[in-house]
Amino acid sequence: MGILEIKNLGLTLNGKQILQNVNMDIWEGRVHAIVGPNGAGKSTLASTIMGLEGYRSVKGKIVFKGSEINDLSTDERARKGISFGWQEPARYEGLLVKDFVLASSKKKDEKIAEKALLQAGLEPSKYMTRAVDKTLSGGERKKIELASIITMNPDLIMLDEPDSGIDVASLEKIFEVIKFLKDNGATILLITHSLTVLRQAEHAFLMCNGELIEKGKSEKIISYFENNCLPCPHKNIPNERGVEYD
């Protein structure tokens, strides 16, 4: 069953076509990935689904749990059950970790925050009363953000480049959290250009130049990473690293 349906989605920013005729079905209770080179439109698509400021004037439809959400604000989409984990989590000077983790939780119980931090790989006694500021590393902030998502218990979780700025041990913990969230009924959408992250997904979409050019089981899309690029209508040629376009 499709929890999220993207129908002929298009987005123009500053006179430039960023997304073109994107069609996707995100199946409930699965781990999906959107992959592609830098600049392919992956994060833009996630921002559009979340309805962030500047990303709501779209063509086509975004349907979540059977209802069109094009006209809903970011907060309204969050209340319906959509969550977005940023590639670079924000800092909040003066806000304590425990308050951040419980911000969207229905129950404001510190024990819930402590449990979520443990699940995300952080010792509560060391983090509950710390500020969400520049004293935290990028990896720590990602884990804290994941802890907040755990307490939020959303239906659809989008994680943008979950491996960015993360060491191997921390990445394995993040993968454990993804499995925990899936096992508890959440649908996960990973935004990535990492083979390691893609392997966590069951189904994947390949984007290039703002268009969806391939979809299927993750094993099918892995060949993009192994061979640098799948045949596609994009007029540009991959550079020698095979990860960016002119």
**Structure-token pair, residue 147:** 């802890």
Distances (CA, A) of 182 to 44, 96, 218, 219: 24, 28, 17, 20
Strands 31-35 and 156-160: unpaired
CA dist 137 and 121 (Å) reads: 14
Q: Residue 109 in 3-state DSSP?
A: coil
Angle at 51 between CA 183 and CA 81, to 5 degrees: 30
- CATH class of the region 1-81+154-246: alpha beta
- Domains in the chain: boundaries: 1-81+154-246, 91-153
Over its length of 246 residues, how does the chain's per-residue pLDDT go in tens digits? 689 999 999 999 888 899 999 999 999 999 999 998 888 899 999 999 999 988 988 999 999 999 999 999 999 999 999 999 876 555 666 789 999 999 888 888 999 999 999 999 999 999 999 988 888 888 888 889 899 999 999 999 999 988 887 788 888 888 999 999 999 999 999 999 888 999 999 999 999 889 998 899 998 888 776 665 555 555 444 433 333 332
pTM metric for this prediction: 0.86
Beta carbons within 8 Å of 28's beta carbon, 6+ residues apart: 1, 2, 3, 155, 187
